[in-house]
Structure 1
């Protein structure tokens, strides 16, 4: 049997635990059972559950205490905890959501809706896990694990989306006094109006059979695929609620629009979205920074090799030639020795800026080590590349460098080795060989007196 995840069921009543275990095991989940808060910390460490379902009241504690205990473990901080509350107990639902529980489940546990809620909660956890780096336990951008929910720093844009303008107006009025977020209203028939303006951070949508296609549409669009979706069912309907969860709503409110419950679910889900957005932005920054040389702000060797590979492939597809240059600042060690490393760092940074300005959109410049730069030029000829290389020499030589806190101007020159390929539709030129050839040409430029360009002829 394939196990799809581990679910911890906490309940002081054995029949409740057994009933949930039977349903969850039939869906290929591994179920761990416990009846009280005592000993839970050790059980969590041993079992590492993917989801916790807990009775709102335990013999020695509450669901809120379970949530705090789970969140206190950095390795489990993103594990969702859902409370099990009595049916039609509105106060219990609101209490659980106020305490930061991720969802509230009420008996009787119909298979379709129970499993849909479980799948939704596990998807939410998987999304968070995907934003973690390697095996690190902390989410990127967070020094401490999150506990409960943290309100977003600024009001979000929330749209009420219903079948009729009358219902939209009623929901808008009911929510306006319950939430700090900016509210707007649309009907499902005017989805284009919602999508044409500033996109909302969250949508409260009236759920009926017709709305299921709208949910799929919203989840498939780039602009709304990460928008919070809160589904509201005017009447009980387990299968419709399950279908809505499987179509991507983040939370479901049954038995009509309770403004207090909708407002709490909005606050919880918007706060979660805010955390994920921060983690995602941090991850993207980390990826971008892995391609950047921290001193000069230019691309680094890792980027350069990837970019040259792309240039080679695209030039081959277009039946065009391309060029590779290796450039090295002349006598750079003597600059460091005479003026100091601060001045040397300034010269490197300023040289990088000059080279980048001179190249413009014609190619890219990367610092690949020490005082050495690699320049890639797509879809060019040898004569065109040679003209650019001479411009690069001029932009370094013609204006002396003026390091801060240094009264003397520093005269700097650069040597460049160049190799340009000829159009070759049939194959991609070996990149390692081209770089070695450019390096040989650079050595020749150095040997010939520096401050010049040398060209190595391409065999291809």
Structure 2
């Protein structure tokens, strides 16, 4: 049997543990059981659960103690912890949410609601794991330190109700208890909500007619609101609709009408979670972007260049227009480092990059692929235009000496460039490595001919 994840069940009453194990095992979850806070740290290390279900009160502690132990392990800090409280015990439910528990289930509960809540939280856990895994891979020249997760600042909460009077009532009840900006909308005017700034959280009123479920589908299918925290406010105590809300992407459900106390606690917990996941996504995006960039010059790096040449070749075969690949190498760069030091050498590299980038503009890309070596790719160009651009690049380096720190006079610098010009019929079967090898041959021809010049080579088929 293929299991869908590991769930740790904590309860001092064996019959409760057995009942939960039967329900969860039937849904293909691996269940580990415990009954006390004592020894829990070791059990967590061994089981590595994806979710923890714990009774509100254990023989030697509470659900809050369980949450603290889970949070103390960095590898498990994103594991959801759900408290199980007695039916109709509102104070216990609010206390659990106040203690930072991810949710509270009232016992006894129907299988459909239990499993929907488990599936919902498992999805969040899986997303968090994916973001952590993606952010931990070595993807650039040098990895930045992990970004600190900062607490959420004032956000935006949208209220989506069936009538404006209900929206006004909710807004008045929440206004003095939340630091977040509140806006009220009716379900019939969803476009008004979607046309403004994306909310951090949305409260949706869902009645017996279930029309709010369609609104939930709409919100979760849109790119702008896909990651917005959504809380369904049920006008009645209907576990079936509650389970459907969670399975359609809702993040939480408030049963049996609006309760300001519970709503405030759920909003704060969910907005904090959304902030954490948003910052992880942003960190991952930055890491991916930086993996294509040379940290010294700000140019693209070799990894980007190889992919870019692949795309240029593919585009050429589609458009049947030519392209050019150039390799450029600063002449006698080692002597610059030896005479003036590596700080001045770095200054030459960064200034060279800036000059070449200005010369290329939007015509193509420039990448630093080695110490003092650069690659240039130019799509949709002719042989004559490629040679003209290469000479412009050569001139932009040699015609203006470089001002370096600690030197009395500007230092002359030159560059050699090897150019290949390719046509679709000639390049369609040539791998990128062959194109670069041809450009490299042209570059060394320019070096042998005296440097500070351009050497051209027609791409071989």
* Cα contact 1:313–1:428 (8 A) shared by 2: no
Q: Say if 1:434 and 1:151 are closer, same or farther in 2 by CA, change over 3 A.
A: closer
Q: Equivalent residue for 2:198? A: 199
Q: Equivalent residue for 2:214? A: 213
Higher mean displacement: 420-429 or 50-59: 420-429
Q: Equivalent residue for 2:256? A: 255
Q: Equivalent residue for 1:228? A: 229
Matching of residue 61 in structure 1 with residue 53 in structure 2? no
Question: Which whole-Å CA distance do the structure 1 matches of 2:280 and 2:325 have between them?
Answer: 37
Task: Write the mapping of 1:224-303 to structure 2, written as runs, cut at 5 A.
Answer: 224-303=225-304
Question: Which whole-Å CA distance do the structure 1 matches of 2:146 and 2:362 have between them?
Answer: 37
Q: How big is the shift at 1:430?
A: 1.9
Q: Name structure 1 gaps, 5 residues minimum.
A: none
Q: Equivalent residue for 1:179? A: 178
* Cα contact 1:318–1:425 (8 A) shared by 2: no
Task: Write the mapping of 1:54-453 to structure 2, written as runs, cut at 5 A.
Answer: 54-133=54-133, 151-152=151-152, 154-208=153-207, 209-424=210-425, 427=428, 429-453=430-454
Question: Which whole-Å CA distance do the structure 2 matches of 1:425 and 1:180 have between them?
Answer: 65
Give TM-score scaled by structure 1 length: 0.95
* Cα contact 1:206–1:234 (8 A) shared by 2: yes
- Residue by residue over 1:69-128, the C-alpha shift from the partner in whole angstroms, topping out at 9 and shown as x without a partner, is 011111111110000111111111111011000000111220111100000111110110
Question: Which whole-Å CA distance do the structure 2 matches of 1:37 and 1:227 have between them?
Answer: 34
Q: How big is the shift at 1:319?
A: 1.1
Q: How big is the shift at 1:404?
A: 2.3
Question: Which whole-Å CA distance do the structure 2 matches of 1:197 and 1:7 have between them?
Answer: 40
Give TM-score scaled by structure 2 length: 0.95
SS at match of 1:133: helix
Question: Which whole-Å CA distance do the structure 1 matches of 2:203 and 2:278 have between them?
Answer: 20
- Residue by residue over 1:124-166, the C-alpha shift from the partner in whole angstroms, topping out at 9 and shown as x without a partner, is 10110011136969xx97589x8xxx851x2101100011111
SS at match of 1:317: helix
Question: Which whole-Å CA distance do the structure 2 matches of 1:242 and 1:217 have between them?
Answer: 18
SS at match of 2:184: strand
Question: Which whole-Å CA distance do the structure 2 matches of 1:428 and 1:106 have between them?
Answer: 66
SS at match of 1:173: helix
Q: Equivalent residue for 2:40? A: 40
Higher mean displacement: 262-271 or 125-134: 125-134
* Cα contact 1:78–1:128 (8 A) shared by 2: yes
- Residue by residue over 1:401-456, the C-alpha shift from the partner in whole angstroms, topping out at 9 and shown as x without a partner, is 10123222110111100001113399353211111111111111111111111100
* Cα contact 1:233–1:257 (8 A) shared by 2: yes
* Cα contact 2:419–2:442 (8 A) shared by 1: yes
Q: Indicate the RMSD between aligned Cα atoms, in angstroms.
A: 1.8
- Residue by residue over 1:14-59, the C-alpha shift from the partner in whole angstroms, topping out at 9 and shown as x without a partner, is 1211111111111111111111111111111111111100011100
Higher mean displacement: 265-274 or 405-414: 405-414
State the aligned residue count: 453
Question: Which whole-Å CA distance do the structure 1 matches of 2:307 and 2:376 have between them?
Answer: 13
Q: How big is the shift at 1:247?
A: 0.6
SS at match of 2:31: strand
* Cα contact 1:316–1:425 (8 A) shared by 2: no
Q: Equivalent residue for 1:23? A: 23
SS at match of 2:2: coil
SS at match of 1:226: coil
* Cα contact 1:12–1:36 (8 A) shared by 2: yes
Question: Which whole-Å CA distance do the structure 2 matches of 1:166 and 1:4 have between them?
Answer: 44
Question: Which whole-Å CA distance do the structure 2 matches of 1:395 and 1:426 have between them?
Answer: 30
Question: Which whole-Å CA distance do the structure 1 matches of 2:252 and 2:199 have between them?
Answer: 17
SS at match of 1:271: helix
* Cα contact 1:83–1:104 (8 A) shared by 2: yes
- Residue by residue over 1:170-224, the C-alpha shift from the partner in whole angstroms, topping out at 9 and shown as x without a partner, is 1111111221110000111111111111111110111231111111111111100
SS at match of 2:361: helix
Question: Which whole-Å CA distance do the structure 1 matches of 2:103 and 2:401 have between them?
Answer: 66
Question: Which whole-Å CA distance do the structure 2 matches of 1:429 and 1:222 have between them?
Answer: 40
Question: Which whole-Å CA distance do the structure 1 matches of 2:215 and 2:414 have between them?
Answer: 63
Higher mean displacement: 169-178 or 113-122: 169-178
Question: Which whole-Å CA distance do the structure 2 matches of 1:133 and 1:207 have between them?
Answer: 36
Question: Which whole-Å CA distance do the structure 2 matches of 1:322 and 1:387 have between them?
Answer: 13
